[in-house]
A and B are shown apart, each in its own frame.
Chain A
Amino acid sequence: MGIANIIFIVLLLAAIVLFTKNILKIKYNISLGGAYKGKGDFGTMARVALGQSKMTRRPIAGFLHILVYAGFVIINIEMLEIVIDGITGSHRVFSSLEGFYKFCIGAFEVLALLVLLACAIFIIRRAVLHIKRFGGPEMKKWPTQDAMIILITEIVLMTAFLMMNAADSKLMIMGAEHYKDVAMAKSDFWISQFLVDVLPSNESTLMGIERGMWWIHIIGVLAFLNYLPYSKHFHIILAFPNTYFTRQGAKGKFSNMESVTNEVKLMMDPNADPFAAPAADPDAVPQRFGAKDVTDLSWKNIMDAYTCTECGRCTDSCPANITGKKLSPRKIMMDIRDRAEELGAAKRKNGKDFEDGKSLLDYISEEEIWACTSCNACVQECPVNNSPLEPIIELRRYLVMEESKVPTELTGMLTNIENNQAPWQFSPADRLNWKDEA
């Protein structure tokens, strides 16, 4: 075991420790949310996350995304070999699998090229074509940079992978020490064979390139792993649990507030004695109606926010946003995530009972909350089954039931329902008048 292997092992362990630490922070932030009643469903996860079923609602982006996704998942099998080689100092430890190994390497190379091309097109879509949904007020400097960092990193990783293979195969053919024990022909490298002639023929330079690319690739991967928790790219992990816990049933169904049900039942029970109903726990803090902060949402709402990859399909299909209103479902998700980050960090620093005096309403304005038509387009379009609608309704519930902040016209509508059992000021006695009208 040489010094290089020791450096690799240290880097690998450091990367894993740091990643775990950041994952636990996110887990903490998600668990700031309250209970979620939904049950898990493997079928939904298989279809939506594994099967990418909602991606192709936008055919071009969907197709390119599937290439990158498939490339990412399949090329990562090769990571196992890279890690073993890095730890033990071996050279292509799985090459003893011969024919199957050669097929895999060839296929990985093809995928690497496709990923590279797809990422290049993605960059063009963002930087040259300026596709509308990648913009908007919430797409400030960081979200825009984040997307570019991800795409450029992936291009660098794939280039390093192909260059490494090219240098390696040239060294194998030249019979260089340590390389010659793997018997692979130039043609086994389906893509990188075309790079071989570009490379110099000097053995030590080639070794430098091969090692250099190997290190760039693996350090790049470990760095990227630790970039994930700070990035929208975290969706590659959370998409799976998030779709597993998808809300099931009709999208039109809004959650039932049980705390209200108990009150209403008490009001409607003629035998109930309003003074004789003791609280189950007299010291319990009364539950808040709706949501003022992320702690009033469910943990699923916060997981949604961390899964959001800011693709903007929700905002692009939102009737309010399309017609120039301030509401953007993507911003709702980003605000929930940013607020959870802020509150989570503060609580970790000052103890779990710490309150920072801020709330989600410092991020999301009433104007946004009231612009929603509850049409479910954002929910329908989200490729990872997020619901921006649910937190909007929870925020409305808080405004209406805790703060009595209702748009004036809606006050009239609500009063009419209470007094006349209809949203308009008509007498209930006139309900059947239509029958006899000409």
Chain B
Amino acid sequence: MSNALVVPTMAEMMAKGETPEILFWVGCAGSFDDRAKKITKAVVKILNHCNVKFAVLGTEESCTGDPAKRAGNEFTFQMQAMMNIQVLDGYEVKKIVTACPHCFNTLKNEYPELGGNYEVVHHTQLIESLFKEGKLAVKGGGDFKGKKITFHDPCYLGRANDVYEAPREILAKLDSELVEMKRCRSKGLCCGAGGAQMFKEAEKGNKEINIERTEEALETKPNFIATGCPFCNTMMTDGIKNFEKENEIKVLDIAEMIATAADL
């Protein structure tokens, strides 16, 4: 482990008269959920290591409104969206990276009609470009060398926004074996958290969706389940615990895997 994290806020940057290249939109899960905070830190480590000039909004950040919109409450969504747009435009933000596909989708697709126009990328896309620019490298894959990894496509990254390759390109750097689940890419099965389901009990059925998905992941006999979404991460981790496999199989975000493999 190396140096302490350097996490400048937009306010601090502005006070110094500086402008970051990119805003890191941490998201509610990334800010408050204990598991997701680790993903946030992994992203920061990568950004620090690659000397990316970034900033966060810190306490000025606020929910994008995604769960409210998916739950049918357009008022709450638009209130959130317009407040956020005012903050983002106040700081003249041009480009945003986020580690949450739900924030990614909302900022990218649903803010423009409310006047918020930004270039928005998912963290896997940013990490892929850092590799391409030669700013980031992993030697030999570290802990992941020769291990079996299966990638769970987040619905809001894959089907919703057609991003399938960036996460796979990154995982290919780990010198490991990428095994696909039967339902992958555009056929990927949801983890069960989307559409505001994360915040409520599921309707009556014969199974939880995350159990169905975890069973499918287990069929690939993986050492690691890679995700690119804090909610998928929670659902898959719960699924693995349900099968009491948490000692054999780790559920990790791609950013965490890269940060570990690059020894950051």
Contacts and interface: CB of A to CB of B under 8 A. Distances in A.
Interface in B1-35: 5, 7, 9, 26, 28, 30-33
Contact of B67 (A260, A261, A423): A423
B155 A375 contact: yes
Contact of B195 (A372, A418, A437): A372
A421 B62 contact: yes
Candidate in A374, A396, A401 with the most chain B CB atoms within 10 angstroms: A374
A55 interface: no
Interface in B86-132: 105, 108-110, 113-114
Contact of A430 (B26, B32, B205): B32
A423 B208 contact: no
A322 B75 CA distance: 32
B159 A376 contact: yes
Contacts of A430: 31-32
A254 B110 contact: yes
B148 to A, nearest CB: 24
A373 B204 contact: no
Contacts of A410: 71, 196, 199-200
Interface in A353-370: 367, 370
Given A260-B74, A367-B204, A410-B200, A250 B209 contact: no
A257 B74 contact: yes
Candidate in A253, A317, A398 with the most chain B CB atoms within 10 angstroms: A253
Contacts of B201: 409
A399 B78 contact: no
B80 interface: yes
Contact of B40 (A263, A317, A434): A434
Nearest to B40: A434
Nearest to B72: A396
Contact of B72 (A256, A268, A319, A393): A393
A156 B187 CA distance: 37
Contacts of A326: 203-205
Nearest to B189: A319
Contact of A418 (B76, B162, B198, B205): B76
A422 interface: yes
A223 interface: no
Contact of B204 (A57, A325, A374, A422): A325
B9 A409 contact: no
A47 interface: no
A265 B82 contact: yes
B75 A432 contact: no
A256 B114 contact: yes
Nearest to B101: A252
B159 A377 contact: yes
Contact of B207 (A323, A412, A414): A323
Nearest to B157: A252
B155 A322 contact: no
Interface in A46-100: 57
A375 B195 contact: yes
B170 to A, nearest CB: 21
A261 B68 CA distance: 15
Given A319-B209, A401-B75, A374 B70 contact: yes
Interface in A415-438: 417-418, 421-424, 426, 428-435, 437
Interface string B182-219: 00001101101111111111111111110111000000
A323 B159 contact: no
A432 B9 contact: yes
A112 B191 CA distance: 45
B62 A375 contact: no
B51 interface: no
Contacts of B207: 323-324
A267 B79 CA distance: 9
Given A268-B82, A422-B28, A428-B59, 15 more contacts: A250-B160, A252-B105, A252-B159, A367-B204, A377-B159, A380-B187, A393-B72, A401-B72, A410-B200, A418-B79, A422-B32, A424-B28, A428-B62, A431-B58, A435-B5
24 contacts: A250-B105, A253-B110, A256-B113, A268-B83, A319-B192, A325-B202, A325-B204, A371-B203, A377-B187, A377-B189, A401-B73, A413-B67, A414-B71, A417-B63, A417-B67, A422-B28, A422-B63, A423-B67, A424-B32, A426-B32, A431-B32, A432-B56, A432-B58, A434-B31
